[in-house]
């Protein structure tokens, strides 16, 4: 770890790795040190067309490969992922900056999607009803839709791509993956392992880049479905452009998640849950706790230990210091953006309870560090209340009662996650019923669903109908066909009677 080697960043077409020699590139950094570890090529129409055509050709065979054979590749893949587990986690830490524990979580959650996809023989089954009319039967089958593309964000270099391609290919589709241009290296390693597991030529292809590359995917006539995860303005654009071009689209966006702390909560547990929720992965999580909602006099008992625990979090180079709890954020531009949001929040009247804006790591002057920060007295209508910060920043909003807090939380545009810490079953039930968010935690800081449940964002956090993961993932990557059948005569065979 901590190597300064610059890694190659090839595209993959028909199981052949190709260096892109022309056009612009973007540097990939190790956020712990600031070093450049790769250069991502900014692909355009030509590379995308080659990748899509390769996927389209492979689809003709892969769609008719029996599901039980398709998943043999995934069974072998799962074992290879386990064998390479630590190296993959190191790759994530190096290009993203999260801690090794968090990187292990990133890859573990991805492996669980592969395991779920291995059950596709069960998950893709259709329904049947005999005798919908006299002598007529009806059954449904699910078939793959064709070439699917996945466009990924930077914050989960393994998990988000693995939300997409294992399910897509298990269902019989072929795939073009566009990893985040900020973290392309883990994806490359993940797909090298898929090839080693026996993935046939062209079933999965990789392109790299930004808007030009994405637009080429969104408008390519041979692409049938688009899975997107990223920020909300881009998710909205992807959904609108993709659907206008006749594609099925699922587009998950950003978030601003509210976490309620009620006076009857177990406060030490609520401190632990909030620290993990707000500052895990340096806050670069769509399920991060963004706003602590404190009700009644709970602020007096809750905020002092929360602030103390926050000050104790160690900032450091996660690729070499195992005791660091927070690493750098993805790049210097992102750090500057977060500081700007904080400065504006202070101008709007919010107060910094813990101020990490100037925290640095002495041994790594070029790393992209920002200390954990708590902003108190945030009010509805402030920009800092409504903007996704996506950094180690926790807002605090104080309310007199539960009803007022629910009303304000429900006025937010985003609807990804929301949590409550309470010992009251009635309040918890009331909260999960009334809160306008698609994923709810009860005494759980980060209620991110696992592979067999949908990742269920609402409102400005999701565009489309079918989410990634769970049965919705199977529905997204398949089309249903309804077969109604009637047979006349008895054919040539002998009919055997019981009596």
Of the candidates 479, 292, 471, the residue with the CA atom closest to the CA atom of residue 394: 292
Q: How far is the CB of 437 from ligand NAD (least distance, A)?
A: 11
Please state, in angstroms and rounded to a whole number, the distance separating the CA atoms of residues 92 and 189.
10
- Secondary structure of residue 100 in the 3-state scheme: helix
Q: How far is the CB of 210 from ligand NAD (least distance, A)?
A: 5
Return the number of other C-beta atoms located less than 10 Å from residue 13's C-beta: 22
Nearer to ligand NAD, 172 or 415 (CB): 415
Q: Exposed (0-12), middle (13-18) or buried (19+): which is 147, by Cβ within 10 Å?
A: buried
Interface ranges with ligand NAD (CB under 6 A): 151-156, 160, 178, 180-181, 210-211, 214, 229-231, 234, 237, 252-255, 286, 388, 390, 416, 455, 457, 461
Q: Note whether 339 and 318 are within 8 A (CB).
A: no
Query: Does residue 43 have an active-site annotation?
Result: no
- Secondary structure of residue 175 in the 3-state scheme: strand
Q: How far is the CB of 389 from ligand NAD (least distance, A)?
A: 10
Q: How far is the CB of 334 from ligand NAD (least distance, A)?
A: 8
Nearer to ligand NAD, 273 or 464 (CB): 464
Tell me whether strands 147-151 and 223-229 are parallel, antiparallel or unpaired: parallel
Nearer to ligand NAD, 59 or 228 (CB): 228
Q: How far is the CB of 321 from ligand NAD (least distance, A)?
A: 25
Nearer to ligand NAD, 211 or 340 (CB): 211
Tell me whether strands 351-354 and 393-399 are parallel, antiparallel or unpaired: unpaired
- Secondary structure of residue 474 in the 3-state scheme: helix
Q: Note whether 410 and 436 are within 8 A (CB).
A: yes
E strand segments, 219-361: 223-229, 248-252, 257-261, 289-295, 351-354
Euclidean distance between the first and the last CA atom of the chain, given in angstroms as a whole number:
78
The phi and psi torsions of 169 (rounded to 5 degrees) equal -80, -30
Q: Which residue has the closest beta carbon to ligand NAD? A: 230
Please state, in angstroms and rounded to a whole number, the distance separating the CA atoms of residues 218 and 239.
9
Q: How far is the CB of 246 from ligand NAD (least distance, A)?
A: 18
Nearer to ligand NAD, 72 or 387 (CB): 387
As a residue count, the chain comes to 499
Nearer to ligand NAD, 142 or 334 (CB): 334
Cα–Cα distances in Å, from 368 out to 36, 421, 467? Answer: 12, 33, 33
Q: How far is the CB of 336 from ligand NAD (least distance, A)?
A: 14
Please state, in angstroms and rounded to a whole number, the distance separating the CA atoms of residues 482 and 485.
10
Nearer to ligand NAD, 345 or 391 (CB): 391
Please state, in angstroms and rounded to a whole number, the distance separating the CA atoms of residues 174 and 224.
10
Instruction: Please pick, among 9, 152, 281, 286, the residue that the annotation labels catalytic.
Output: 286
* Opening angle at CA 433, ends 427 and 434, nearest 5: 90
Please state, in angstroms and rounded to a whole number, the distance separating the CA atoms of residues 204 and 13.
8
Q: Exposed (0-12), middle (13-18) or buried (19+): which is 138, by Cβ within 10 Å?
A: middle
Nearer to ligand NAD, 286 or 315 (CB): 286
- Secondary structure of residue 213 in the 3-state scheme: helix
Q: Both tokens of residue 416? A: 């990804």
Residues marked as catalytic = 286
């Amino acid at each position: 770890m901590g190597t300064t080697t610059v890694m190659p960043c090839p595209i993959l077409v028909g199981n052949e790795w190709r260096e892109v020699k022309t056009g612009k590139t973007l540097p990939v950094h190790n956020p712990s040190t600031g070093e450049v570890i790769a250069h991502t090529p900014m692909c355009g129409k030509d590379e995308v067309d080659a990748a899509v055509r390769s996927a389209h050709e492979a689809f003709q065979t892969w769609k008719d490969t029996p599901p039980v054979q398709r998943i043999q590749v995934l069974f072998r893949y799962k074992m290879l992922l386990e064998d390479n587990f630590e190296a993959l986690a190191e790759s994530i830490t190096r290009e993203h900056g999260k801690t090794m524990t968090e990187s292990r979580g990133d890859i573990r959650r991805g492996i669980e999607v592969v395991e779920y996809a291995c059950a596709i023989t069960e998950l893709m089954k259709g329904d049947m009803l005999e005798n919908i009319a006299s002598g007529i039967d009806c059954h449904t089958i699910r078939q793959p839709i064709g070439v699917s593309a996945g466009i990924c964000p930077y914050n989960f270099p393994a998990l988000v791509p693995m939300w997409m391609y294992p399910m897509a290919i298990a269902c019989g589709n072929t795939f073009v993956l566009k990893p985040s241009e900020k973290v392309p290296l883990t994806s490359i390693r993940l797909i090298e392992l898929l090839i080693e597991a026996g993935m046939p030529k062209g079933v999965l292809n990789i392109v790299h880049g930004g808007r030009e590359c994405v637009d080429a995917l969104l408008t390519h006539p041979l692409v049938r479905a688009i899975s997107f995860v990223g920020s909300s303005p881009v998710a909205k654009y992807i959904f609108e452009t993709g659907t206008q071009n006749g594609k099925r689209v699922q587009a998950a966006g950003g978030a601003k998640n509210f976490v309620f702390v009620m006076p009857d909560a177990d406060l030490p547990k609520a401190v632990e849950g909030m620290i993990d929720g707000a500052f895990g992965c340096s806050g670069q999580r769509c399920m991060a706790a963004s706003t602590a909602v404190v009700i009644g006099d709970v602020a007096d008992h809750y905020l002092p230990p929360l602030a103390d625990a926050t000050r104790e979090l160690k900032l450091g180079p996660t690729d070499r210091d195992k005791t660091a709890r927070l690493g750098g954020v993805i790049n210097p531009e992102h750090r500057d953006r977060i500081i700007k949001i904080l400065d504006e929040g202070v101008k709007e009247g919010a107060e910094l309870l813990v101020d990490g804006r100037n925290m640095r790591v002495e041994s790594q002057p070029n790393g992209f560090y920002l200390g954990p920060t708590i902003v108190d007295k945030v009010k509805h209508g402030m920009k800092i209340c409504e903007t996704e910060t996506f950094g180690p920043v926790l807002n605090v909003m104080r309310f007199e009662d539960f009803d007022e807090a629910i009303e304000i939380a429900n006025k937010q545009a985003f609807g990804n996650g929301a949590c409550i810490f309470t010992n009251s079953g009635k309040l918890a039930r009331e909260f999960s019923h009334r809160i306008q968010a698609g994923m709810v935690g009860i005494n759980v800081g980060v209620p991110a669903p696992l592979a067999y449940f949908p990742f269920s964002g609402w409102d400005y956090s999701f565009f489309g109908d079918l989410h990634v993961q769970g049965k919705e993932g199977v529905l997204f990557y398949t089309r249903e066909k309804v077969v109604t059948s009637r047979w006349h005569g008895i054919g040539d065979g002998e009919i055997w009677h019981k009596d």
